[in-house]
Amino acid sequence: MADAIDAQDGSFTVGIVGAGLIGVMLAAGLVRRGISVKVYEQARGFREIGAGMAFTATSVRCMELLDPAIVYALRSSGAVPISIGDHQGEARDYLRWVDGYNQVPGKDTTDERKLYEIDAGIRGFEGCRRDQFLETLVKVLPEGVIECQKRLQQVYEKELGDKITLEFADGISVEVDCVIGTDGIRSRVRQHLFGKDSPHSFPHYSHKFAYRGLISMENAISALGESKAHTLNMHVGPNAHLIHYPVANQTMVNVAAFVSDPNDWTDQTSLVRPATRIDAMNDFANWNTCLRAVVGFLPEKIDRWAMFDTWDYPAPYFSRGKICLAGDAAHAAVPHHGAGACIGVEDALCLTILLGEVSVSMRGQSAMDCGRAVVAAFNTYDAVRRVRAQWFVDSSRRVCDLYQQPEWADPERWGKAETCFEEIKDRSYKIWHFDYNSMLQEAIEGYRQRMSE
């Protein structure tokens, strides 16, 4: 016998599968609007790694609309603007590219050829440690909203007016009115929608892997110089690139070094393989002194992280009936735009506003009417979000190819290589300057139109 969640507002209940950043933010937005929600997480606790991440100013504003407490959690967990301090004290953020491969003749080892920069505006990015942010973020939710050790086994759908049953590995089942899968790149909800044997149900190797780690600000300054250590910089070169930016209130620097890999990733059950600092140093052995110094400060034992995404087999749809996908479960991308979580925040805001419409319009209505409203909301979400999200997956692959052009190693071909930056700027602006107000207007109008038909 399945346990049913009691709706606090008398209308409907939402089950979220996956308590990562996007699932918890979505839950916070729904709770703030009085919607009954439970989040089911398969882990014993919150297992986000201590790597750094960054959010665009637009995504932070979306968090504010979800729940201002999310932004407070972000900033109280050590988030800092990641590029302040390089333009005569201007409080602006810049995304910069430098030549990480070629040594500048006659210059100090920390000098690198500057290639391009884009002004991202005031607090254009805010960097944090992923684990610290999640640890603070979960405190936004009331006690009991998140249940851990709930590994999803099966989803049972019935008629439109019936509840959906979620069956977990511990033998417990629950009933909810709708399901949102935010369970990441290996989503069980996605497998339910497309079938366990479908290539659309799983991510695929992009033939890139990354060494990731945190280094102290002191070490970063010795390798990069004062200015670069305190700002975001992308070091480009043939078949690899490295990005770094400050986190933890400017006491640490997050480093991610990406390498092209012609081989297949043989272990499909794990995205991580053990590696050492020596492995990373060998992969960047021919790069300039500055870049090699950064890699040399990584921890002695690190991991090699495979970059999987949904580029090969994008989701044919993000929703079916009263079940939908959000975040990486819907559109896992390689991290070369550094904005995958930002796109997930947009998903969460869109879903929150749509389910808020359902909650208001369906109070006191029949289960069948509520089911139709949820389907209308999820279909609207699919129509509003899928094209942009799939574009982001494609664009993330494209910019990596531009960062890792073989031409960076040949001074006679630098002119050709540098033409890529106008394209990179256009792609970056499409992410940074997203008109979320228009998205919300389109979503509300689309939902209301579907309900009137």
Residue ranges in 249-366 assigned as alpha helix (H)? 277-283, 289-296, 328-331, 340-361
Residue 225 has pLDDT above 70, yes or no: yes
List the Cα angle 133/247/85 in 5-degree steps. 135
pLDDT digits (tens, 9 = 90+) for 178-198: 999 999 999 999 999 999 999
pLDDT-derived band at 262 (thresholds 50, 70, 90) equals very high
From the list 291, 287, 261, 289, the residue with the least C-alpha distance to 275 is: 261
Whether residue 245 lies in the annotated active site: yes
145-189 pLDDT, tens per residue?
999 999 999 999 999 999 999 999 999 999 999 999 999 999 999
Cβ count near 433 (within 10 Å): 12
Per-residue pLDDT band for 331 (boundaries 50, 70, 90) equals very high
Could you confirm whether 47 is annotated as catalytic?
no
- Mean pLDDT, all residues of the chain: 92
Task: Report pLDDT for 84.
Answer: 46
The whole-number pLDDT of residue 73 equals 94
State residue 14's pLDDT score.
97
The H or E element that residue 147 is part of is strand 146-147
Q: What kind and span of H or E run contains 190?
A: helix 188-194
Q: Which residues make Cβ contacts (< 8 Å) with residue 419, sequence separation at least 6?
A: none
Q: Residue 60's closest CA among 140, 135, 125?
A: 125
The CA-atom distances, in angstroms, between 358 and each of 178, 353, 366, 400, 448 are 12, 9, 13, 40, 10
**Could you tell me the two tokens for 253?**
């620097």
283-293: pLDDT as tens digits: 999 999 999 99
pLDDT tier at 313, thresholds 50, 70, 90: very high
Q: Measured at the alpha carbon of residue 399, what is the angle toward residues 75 and 381, in degrees to the nearest 5?
A: 60
Within a 10 A sphere around the Cβ of 170, how many other Cβ atoms?
10
User: How far apart are alpha carbons 66 and 358 in whole angstroms?
Assistant: 16
Phi, psi of 301 (to 5 degrees): -110, 120
- pLDDT > 90 in the chain, percent: 79
**340 pLDDT tier (thresholds 50, 70, 90):** very high
| Mean local confidence (pLDDT), 437-446 | 98
Domains of the chain are: 13-91+117-203+311-452 (3.50.50.60), 207-302 (3.30.9.30)
Q: Which of 190, 212, 386, 427 is catalytic?
A: 212
Query: In whole angstroms, what is the distance from residue 80 CA to residue 93 CA?
Result: 11
Catalytic-role residue among 245, 381, 403, 447: 245
For the chain, percent helix, then strand, then coil, each to nearest 5?
A: 40, 25, 35
User: Does the pLDDT of residue 350 top 50, yes or no?
Assistant: yes
- Strand partners for 80: 127
> How does pLDDT run across 399-430, given as a tens digit for each residue?
999 999 999 999 999 999 999 999 999 999 99
pLDDT tens string 46-105: 655 556 788 999 999 999 999 999 999 999 887 766 554 444 445 677 889 999 999 888
Using the predicted structure, report yes or no on whether residue 345 has a pLDDT greater than 90: yes
Tokens for 21, please give them: 């950043």
User: Is residue 10's pLDDT more than 70?
Assistant: no
Kindly report, residue by residue over 110-146, the tens digit of the pLDDT. Answer: 889 999 999 888 888 887 888 889 999 999 999 999 9
Give the model confidence (pLDDT) of 26-47 as tens digits: 999 999 999 999 999 999 876 5
Please give the C-alpha separations between residue 362 and each of 10, 37, 226, 332, 373, in angstroms, as whole numbers: 9, 16, 57, 33, 8
Cα distances (angstroms) measured from residue 286 to each of 89, 109, 289, 302, 344: 35, 14, 9, 20, 37
Helix 420-432 to helix 367-403 angle, to the nearest 10 degrees? 160
Residue 1 has pLDDT above 50, yes or no: no
